[in-house]
């Protein structure tokens, strides 16, 4: 796995100058765990790493008269495409930006790859040992579709189901903090509940990565806080990051470095033909 990369993507809405602190901390946690293997793609770097003309193709779910909703649709649609396009071309592991990595889990991936070339949990967390025709097919499905399928980009879930010869399912011990597969988009509120002991949430000591649900959590006032304010709040979500690294100053410093580089990374530059 000498050339193996861990990939994520971030773009900021054009009317935003603030990135949620748990996104910044999540990206820092990925970098902390995987070091130089981590590659964070942005709108300005996509074509440096993916052989595709993003200036000529827009990915979206449905057009909206609301400018912000329309732009968000295009950001998420592009993110959905980027993950399969990059891995179809290079291999690697995809992690959504709203993820927390508690520890490096390359050894577990290597074990899965020794049996099958694709490791799959969902479109937010998957990996391929190298370029693979199944991943390329999902990419082509997205290119051919007039608009994207939310939660099932390129019909990835439909397409990968049943391909037992090529796909290993990531064990829940790797990604489920509860240890009983009860953590999901429907139970995300537990991650921001105040005053609870971290042990009541992180019941699975083997857990390596946790998917957050930014579309839901962003409705909470946590998204408007600074990294320091966020970590000083008595929330399970903040405690998770301090469980990884107890120094608030570490997260503040690394988060600020990321924020400076990402706040101007909008999906569509002013010269883009679709603005």
Q: Which domains does the chain have, with CATH numbers?
A: 6-169+248-262 (3.90.550)
Mean pLDDT of the chain: 89
For residue 236, what are the CA distances in angstroms to 109, 204, 207, 231?
27, 15, 15, 10
Q: What percent of the chain has pLDDT over 70?
A: 95
Whether 66 has a pLDDT exceeding 50, the answer reads yes
- DSSP per residue, 97-116: SSEEE-S--HHHHHHHHTT-
DSSP classification of residue 266: B
Whether 271 has a pLDDT exceeding 50, the answer reads no
Q: Is 146 exposed, middle or buried (0-12, 13-18, 19+ CB in 10 A)?
A: exposed
What does the longest C-alpha to C-alpha distance in the chain come to?
50
Asked if residues 198 and 240 have their Cβ atoms less than 8 Å apart, the reply is: yes
Please give the pLDDT value at position 275.
43
Of 68 and 58, the one with more pLDDT? 58
User: Sign (positive/negative) of CA torsion 137, 141, 143, 144?
Assistant: positive
- Side by side, the strands of the sheet bearing 38-41 are 38-41, 6-9, 92-95, 125-128, 118-122, 167-169
Q: For the ranges 12-21, 93-102, 129-138, 165-174, which has the lowest average pLDDT? A: 12-21
Whether 270 has a pLDDT exceeding 70, the answer reads no
Question: Strands 38-41 and 118-122, how do they pair?
Answer: unpaired
Q: What is the mean pLDDT of residues 154-165?
A: 83
Whether 26 has a pLDDT exceeding 90, the answer reads yes
């Amino acid at each position: 796995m000498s050339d193996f990369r861990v990939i994520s993507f971030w773009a900021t809405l054009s009317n935003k100058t603030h990135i949620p602190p748990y996104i910044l901390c999540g990206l820092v946690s990925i970098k902390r765990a995987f070091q130089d293997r981590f590659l964070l793609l942005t709108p300005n770097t996509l074509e440096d790493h993916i052989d595709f003309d993003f200036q000529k193709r827009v990915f979206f779910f449905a057009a909206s008269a609301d400018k912000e909703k329309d732009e968000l649709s295009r950001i998420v649609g592009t993110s959905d495409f980027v993950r399969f396009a990059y891995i179809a071309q290079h291999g690697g592991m995809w992690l959504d930006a709203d993820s927390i990595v508690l520890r490096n889990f390359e050894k577990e991936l290597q074990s899965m790859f020794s049996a099958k070339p694709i490791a799959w949990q969902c479109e937010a967390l998957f990996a391929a040992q190298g370029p693979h025709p199944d991943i390329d097919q999902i990419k082509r499905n997205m290119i051919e579709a007039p608009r994207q399928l939310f939660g099932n980009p390129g019909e990835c879930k439909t397409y990968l189901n049943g391909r037992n010869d090529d796909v290993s399912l990531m064990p829940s011990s790797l990604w489920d903090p509860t240890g009983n597969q009860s953590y999901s988009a429907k139970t995300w509120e537990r991650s921001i509940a105040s005053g609870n002991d971290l042990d009541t949430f992180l019941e699975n000591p083997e857990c390596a990565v946790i998917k957050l649900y930014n579309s839901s959590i962003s409705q909470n006032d946590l998204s408007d806080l600074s990294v320091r304010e966020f970590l000083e709040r008595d929330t399970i979500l903040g405690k998770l990051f301090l469980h990884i690294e107890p120094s608030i100053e570490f997260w503040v410093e690394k988060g600020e470095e990321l924020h400076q580089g990402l706040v101007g990374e909008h999906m569509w530059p002013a010269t883009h033909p679709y603005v």
